[in-house]
Chain A
């Protein structure tokens, strides 16, 4: 009888839902390991990443846990502070594997740390999904157990170069007339970005008029900016983590630097809008992710939903932008969940193979790993600060606004 079976279906559905909720509470644990920077120069971003991991773990718990075969699990992470030092990260990874017996790792913050840990996880054959190491030199060593959800570093400011070439053509000049100035911090990540920019600039035949490395102990760019004033480049590139971004925006404003296009990294992490207001206008910021992008998935919802819920869970972000470091950390955890469910077992080799076969749509973007382990399905996005807001201006299929050029 229809009504009875309908009732039966309803009751069964209700029972299942309730049992999910009930069971989520007593799901077993899968332990993940993470050596992450809680102190030292990467502490701020290490915290962003850790919050991203924890937020995702909580979301998964609330949604009923991970279904591996016919059992359910929740993630638990053992964190150790690597003090932003590579050799410490490697030692701690060994400790996690040998003493804490973890079988799966979440990545550390920064390419440098990831480079230090990767040989260790590779030797012990521990699958690691990392979200904060973008250097392409991580992916040409034949690592089989390293997977990265983020776009690699040489793509960071490549679209700025392309944009500069476009604007040159629009004003009737040849792209090879464009003069490029580069100032990056003397660390592996920023040097990778520089390599990407130089490669792309080289393809257009552009001339590099300034190419200098900022020392890590200094926060004063005035010597370089003086040269910028003299040599008048068309494109100024600065990359130096949050400190570099803050110094650049501040001093560009102070010294009234008049370059038509300025592109930097880590704007959001340095909160240049909040700290420098108008001085930050019309600066291009590269980002791995923006909450205005139209990605979505069943666990986190849309990108803007992630943004909203994260701010609710972590109120200290309430009046700032959620940094992409956090978003990609959550995406990494999601990849693990998806992989465990597809593998149907906790055996690390099977999980590793499942990760390699990932083809997942997430709020962060599409995730699909190449043979080498990097994510080839998600592009870097360029945003411009317009009236204090970050608006996506490139690549064109995601652009919501037109770029203001030249910079006012």
Chain B
């Protein structure tokens, strides 16, 4: 890596660490920004890089929330009793219980989601293209509907977790760093992954699955592994979100197919599918745009979102990164040889 790029990364890392102190009033929004980045990057893993566009990744977010909550509560109390009290009653958690529960819950959420991804993937990866999208959307909606009828995890009431012990502001700082750490780890991981044979293999699946199989790529294994990895990270942020939001409901918060579920797709499309920085750029732009304009577009914000989706899909298929790669290929280490565009991107 040349010096210029190293400097760039150092600046970004520094900004990440300093941000909550530079903008203390926006800590929650910065945390949410990281959440968007993470779900965008993970969506791109199966979507942009592998060609399987899932509309149901939010399933792992919701499941992560529930698993983390159940683990954290279950260590100390009987889950059924806790949820029956519906947020009332005296269920105290010591600091040690809170933090250990949260950590175990978050890791557990990630692992469980990865496992579920393998199971579900085994069934759904026989579907291609739009069927895969609809199928995954169906899984997410079904999960939301079924969980909302499951009294053990609170049914329609959802679950109310204990509040962060200690100062509120410190709490926000804490959650920001949890999200940011997850995001940085994910980024570094993906940056490495896309340069390996694994990355090439999943790109091959995207470009022409039939040929890839003919060439000896065990497509099913790659598909399951990729989705499992994506599910792990989404499950983890689901778990973190559960503790950050404190109280969540099955359909509105956990399995929010129409909100976060579709945002992740929009972010990636906006920024550029199949690139490493695309989802990040898209997430940042989208989140900033949303926070700034939504209160002013009162009533029309969702129409604007729908329009944004339509416009992006129709006119900006390749997203911003795609547009940039097209315009300035030199930035990306692509040499344009006369009439051929050799796509050997390393960014």
**B interface size (C-beta, 8 A):** 31
Say yes or no: A137 contacts B156, CB within 8 Å.
no
Shortest distance in angstroms between A217's beta carbon and chain B's nearest beta carbon? 8
Q: Which of A81, A94, A98, A213 is in CB contact (< 8 Å) with B156?
A: A213
Interface residues of B in 243-301 (CB under 8 A from A): 245-249, 251-253, 259, 295, 298-299
Q: Which of A115, A124, A187, A191 is in CB contact (< 8 Å) with B247?
A: A115
Nearest opposing residue in chain B for A216, CB measure: B251
The interface bits of chain A over 181-208 (1 if a CB of B lies within 8 angstroms of the residue's CB, else 0) are 0000111100110000000000000000
B89 CB within 8 Å of chain A: yes
Shortest distance in angstroms between B128's beta carbon and chain A's nearest beta carbon? 29
Measured in the bound complex, the distance between the Cα atoms of B171 and A123 in whole Å is 11
Q: Which of B86, B148, B252 is in CB contact (< 8 Å) with A86?
A: B252
Interface residues of A in 23-73 (CB under 8 A from B): 38-39
Q: A188-B157, A216-B251 are in contact. List 14 more A-B contacts (CB 8 A).
A: A81-B299, A90-B245, A91-B29, A98-B25, A115-B160, A115-B247, A119-B247, A123-B163, A137-B85, A186-B149, A186-B155, A187-B157, A188-B86, A191-B157
Chain B residues with Cβ under 8 A from A98's Cβ?
25
Measured in the bound complex, the distance between the Cα atoms of B84 and A191 in whole Å is 11
A171 CB within 8 Å of chain B: no
Say yes or no: A119 contacts B86, CB within 8 Å.
no
B216 CB within 8 Å of chain A: no
7 contacts between A and B (CB under 8 A): A38-B299, A39-B302, A91-B28, A124-B168, A137-B85, A188-B249, A191-B86
Q: Given A140-B88, A188-B86, A39–B299 Cβ distance below 8 Å? A: yes
Mark B residues whose CB is within 8 Å of A: 25, 28-29, 85-89, 145, 148-149, 155-158, 160, 163, 168, 245-249, 251-253, 259, 295, 298-299, 302
Which 4 A-B pairs have CB atoms at the shortest separation, nearest pair first? A186-B156, A137-B88, A123-B168, A140-B88
Chain B residues with Cβ under 8 A from A119's Cβ?
163, 246-247
Say yes or no: A86 contacts B88, CB within 8 Å.
no
Chain A residues with Cβ under 8 A from B149's Cβ?
186, 213
Nearest opposing residue in chain B for A112, CB measure: B249
Measured in the bound complex, the distance between the Cα atoms of B160 and A141 in whole Å is 12
Chain A residues with Cβ under 8 A from B245's Cβ?
86-87, 90
Chain B residues with Cβ under 8 A from A216's Cβ?
156, 251
Shortest distance in angstroms between A318's beta carbon and chain B's nearest beta carbon? 25
Q: Which of A39, A80, A137 is in CB contact (< 8 Å) with B86?
A: A137
Chain A residues with Cβ under 8 A from B145's Cβ?
215
Say yes or no: B298 contacts A140, CB within 8 Å.
no
Say yes or no: A99 contacts B163, CB within 8 Å.
no
Shortest distance in angstroms between A80's beta carbon and chain B's nearest beta carbon? 6
Say yes or no: B25 contacts A188, CB within 8 Å.
no
Interface residues of A in 202-244 (CB under 8 A from B): 213, 215-216
A85 CB within 8 Å of chain B: yes
A116 CB within 8 Å of chain B: yes
Shortest distance in angstroms between A156's beta carbon and chain B's nearest beta carbon? 16
Measured in the bound complex, the distance between the Cα atoms of B247 and A112 in whole Å is 9
A136 CB within 8 Å of chain B: yes
Measured in the bound complex, the distance between the Cα atoms of B253 and A99 in whole Å is 25
Nearest opposing residue in chain A for B89, CB measure: A140
Say yes or no: B251 contacts A141, CB within 8 Å.
no
